[in-house]
Amino acid sequence: MTKLKLTPVAARAKVLSIVWLVLMVIGSIGADQASKVHAQNTLMQWQDEKDPSLYQGQRNPVFALGSPVAEDGNLYFSFSFNYVRNLGAAWGALSNLPDSTRVPFFYAVTVLAVIIIGVYIRSTPLNHRLAIFSLSLILSGAIGNFIDRFRLGYVIDFLDCRWNLFGWRYDFPNFNVADSCITVGVTFLMFDMIVLEGVRKKRASQVATQVPAGTVA
């Protein structure tokens, strides 16, 4: 099949879209790494130079709503900066694996994920803006956490949310900017796949079945 040649305007729009996406990914990764360096410098109180699992972080409350007393019907939400090191995956999964297994495993998984996301971004039409934006956020988060693992051997988490909603008391696992990018990206991507894709198919069906103007039935 012959590939259609883009018009000059469409080609310029494609280049600008690619530049914008690259800048967004670089900016997201930069914000993630800068925030982690700041957390390391301001919240980390003590560390063992040889064992990364031995350290002491500091928790700085930012704001809190309600009372932390655990009672039925009580409402409470707090947000803090709390330095922790994650040697595993999300919520510390697989952190107990030996370094000889854990490190290459996460390297391989991250590289594979980046390749797959890159292929999806390349194959997604430019007019599917939300999907491309979502995939770019996920890519940014994956690279941001990979840099931590490569540079430090662990991921720095420092965002801490805790709540008590009508008796449901929960301390959400600490996370970082890269994790936020991944979460927001996955949420938007699901919305695109479930909602917007249905809208696009409906519009395409309407256009395909539309009777051309001036046609006599």
The answer to whether 43 and 82 are in contact (CB under 8 A) is yes
Tell me how far apart the alpha carbons of residues 140 and 124 are, in angstroms, rounded to a whole number. Answer: 17
The active-site residue, picked from 32, 148, 160, 179, is: 179
72 catalytically annotated: no
171 is catalytic: no
Strands 55-57 and 44-47, how do they pair?
antiparallel
Task: With beta carbons less than 8 A apart as the criterion, state whether 148 and 36 touch.
Answer: yes
Which residue out of 148, 157, 160, 192 is catalytically annotated? 157
Ordered DSSP codes for 70-122: --TT-EEEEEEEEEEEE-SSGGGTTTTS-HHHHHHHHHHHHHHHHHHHHHHHH
Beta-carbon neighbour count of residue 142 at 10 Å? 22
Rounded to 5 degrees, what are φ and ψ at 45? -95, -35
CA distance 62 to 81: 7
> Which residue numbers are catalytic?
157, 179
